[in-house]
Structure 1
């Protein structure tokens, strides 16, 4: 008889230990100058060589229809970074000029503005708490 309550307690303890709280990271994208093409948004966990040396944990592609848009990711609380670009010509890639300078509008969380090289993860780090987070990214 004592075994049944113990088994129930063990079951519930294991069920709750594997429970992962989820919340929302909402990204308001501003300064979209051309209402055509797609917005390509990547969400990253801490990694080396951000953003080109690691894969996003999630991504979204959103049709551009106005000068601003909202993108929402469902995430566990923690640290993230966002990199995005406006694929104006809808060719599926970031077009670049000489020396790898982006031709199409782009942006990073914390509105980080790279000067000479791509940002590091810590430059764009956003902490999402259990209550969620809304950030704004203005395209460059």
Structure 2
């Protein structure tokens, strides 16, 4: 009769399979139980670690938890397909630099309107830019002279076809809670 360890379940080994110990009768389920506990421990540690990193704070230390900016964009050309990719910017120094955006959101392009929702946003001044990425390449397609070839939208419907929109003209003030703002996609 095989030796048993108190508190450890024993699992019969399928016929024809050899346990590393050479015992063909039973195998202890130590490794699976330990792996499950280890996986649970690692997942809990990862969750705790990210909770400290992802909670946005204002300059005075207030969290943005529960605050939301909902940007509704109308005039989507649904025949183009793709996604509407939105970016939230905090200041003029990062404005329209996708590598330095504060937050991002995306919605499948569909007839009528889409909403890009930025959650847990601390109170402050923000501007938003959106791209109707019809070919799903994550970048604005431009003509030879640099004009947009895909739809775009700017917060506060700021639009000047011949120059880059200004952060101050496109910015909105978010005082906390839920802010809803609207713009129209331009093609």
TM-score by length of 2: 0.61
Q: Answer yes or no: is 1:26 the counterpart of 2:70.
A: yes
Q: Which one of 66, 70, 79 corresponds to residue 111 of structure 2?
A: 66
Per the TM alignment, residue 137 of structure 1 is displaced from its structure 2 partner at its CA by 1.2
Q: Answer yes or no: is 1:121 the counterpart of 2:164.
A: no
CA distance in 1, matches of 2:147, 2:97: 14
Work out which structure has the larger RCO, using CA pairs closer than 8 Å and 6 or more positions apart in sequence.
1
Q: Which runs of 5+ in 2 are unaligned?
A: 1-59
CA distance in 2, matches of 1:18, 1:97: 44
Q: Which one has the largest radius of gyration? A: 2
Q: Which one of 81, 101, 107 corresponds to residue 153 of structure 2?
A: 107
Q: Which runs of structure 1 show a deviation greater than 3 angstroms over 4 or more consecutive aligned residues?
A: none
CA contact (8 A) 1:51 1:119 kept: no
Aligned-residue Cα RMSD (Å) equals 1.9
User: Any idea what the Cα deviations from partners look like across 1:48-102, whole Å, max 9, x if unmatched?
Assistant: 3621386111111222133211121120011000001101122221111122100
CA distance in 2, matches of 1:131, 1:31: 27
State the match for 1:7 in structure 2.
none
Structure with the largest fraction of strand = 1
